[in-house]
């Protein structure tokens, strides 16, 4: 078996960073990253981007050396992706914050509202309901992060955690402040409005969860395979017939429900901003589905049936 030689150059400066000889032609890029890490311990594999071309796309960890368009002396380029943090860590932190912060406002912990309201509870039952819904939502997200989601990438850039936490923690504190405020005004249409809102919220929570399960089942454990998601026996997944990312559709629906339930403008803002972000993500996902799969169903829109 002929061994390969691999030299790794810096993509920016073209400096020779590492030379590996006697490399098994069946080695994967992942294994080469591990070897590179040994000579440069500060660049752990998760922060390495290895490509064939200095300005090209990153190679996947599963790519095999001899299947790449390289000679027996392969030249690869390295780019530092920067400090990385695992998706699981980011999700747990960004969801844990809202859960705890909201509860602090709900229990009217000191220094938030006027001292005379410390540790009091609201007299409006919709405020208690809203707390249960908000907390349920984030507990669900935390559990899904731990037990349901199968992530394609292990890590993301470290600065994302600051950006994401500012967003989630900031908005949840802002919403919680008003909903749990002593001067909170309950919804204009009273019981009916809250009941309708609750139905929408719960429906969309179940829907969102159903989609997460369906997506998980698309991908066997440890696999990073990409397949077209289709409706399953669960009626909540039938939304796949009309949209590429029904998980986002249901998520927007949940927050619309929560807005209706609390009749709170900051919640409406949060719903709007979230919708815009998810729409951008859905459009991107939809486009990559179309690019990757020639038989992708034409009826589907990215996030809103027939609309967006």
Q: Which residues bind to another protein, rule: CB under 8 A?
A: 178-179, 181, 183-185, 188, 262-266
Query: Concatenated DSSP letters for 75-119?
Result: EEEEEE--SEEEHHHHHHHHHHHHHHHHHHHHTT-TTSS-GGGTT
What do you get for the CA distance between the two ends of the chain, in Å? 54
Between residues 209 and 270, which has the closer beta carbon with respect to another protein? 270
Nearest distance from C-beta of residue 183 to another protein, angstroms: 4
Nearer to another protein, 20 or 179 (CB): 179
Q: How far is the CB of 298 from another protein (least distance, A)?
A: 14
Task: Enumerate the H helices of the chain as residue ranges.
Answer: 29-39, 87-106, 125-147, 159-179, 190-218, 246-262, 265-292
| Residue closer to another protein, measured from CB, 167 or 178 | 178
Contact by Cβ (8 Å): 96, 104: no
Residue found by looking up tokens 């064939």 in the block: 52
Q: How far is the CB of 61 from another protein (least distance, A)?
A: 33
Q: How far is the CB of 263 from another protein (least distance, A)?
A: 6
- Residue 241: CB minimum distance to another protein, A: 25
Nearer to another protein, 181 or 219 (CB): 181
Q: How far is CA 50 from CA 68, 150, 226, 270, 289, in A?
A: 12, 23, 21, 38, 24
Q: Which is nearer to another protein, 100 or 265 (CB)?
A: 265
């Amino acid at each position: 078996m002929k061994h390969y030689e691999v030299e790794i150059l810096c993509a920016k400066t073209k400096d020779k960073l590492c030379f590996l000889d006697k490399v098994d032609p069946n080695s994967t890029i992942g294994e080469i990253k591990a070897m590179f890490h040994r000579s440069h311990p500060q660049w752990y594999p998760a922060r390495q981007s290895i490509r064939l071309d200095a300005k090209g796309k990153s190679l996947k960890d599963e790519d095999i050396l001899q299947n790449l368009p390289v000679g027996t002396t392969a030249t690869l380029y390295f780019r530092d992706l920067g400090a990385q943090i695992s998706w699981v860590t980011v999700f747990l932190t960004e969801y844990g914050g809202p859960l705890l912060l909201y509860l602090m406002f709900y229990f009217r912990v000191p220094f938030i509202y006027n001292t005379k309201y410390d540790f009091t509870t609201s007299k409006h039952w919709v405020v208690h309901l809203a707390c249960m819904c908000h907390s349920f939502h984030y507990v669900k997200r935390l559990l899904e992060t731990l037990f349901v989601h199968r992530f394609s990438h292990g890590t993301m850039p470290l600065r994302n955690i600051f950006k994401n936490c500012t967003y989630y923690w900031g908005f949840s504190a802002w919403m919680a402040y008003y909903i749990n405020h002593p001067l909170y005004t309950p919804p204009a249409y009273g019981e009916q409005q809250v009941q309708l809102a609750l139905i929408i919220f719960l429906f969309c929570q179940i829907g969102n969860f159903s989609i997460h399960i369906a997506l998980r089942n698309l991908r066997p454990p440890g696999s990073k395979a990409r397949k077209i998601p289709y409706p399953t026996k669960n009626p909540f997944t039938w939304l796949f017939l009309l949209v590429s990312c029904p998980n986002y559709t249901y998520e927007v629906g949940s927050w619309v429900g929560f807005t209706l339930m609390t009749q709170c403008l900051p919640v409406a803002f949060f719903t709007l901003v979230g919708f815009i972000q998810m729409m951008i993500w859905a459009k991107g996902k939809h486009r990559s589905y179309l690019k990757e799969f020639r038989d992708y169903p034409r009826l589907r829109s990215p996030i809103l049936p027939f609309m967006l």
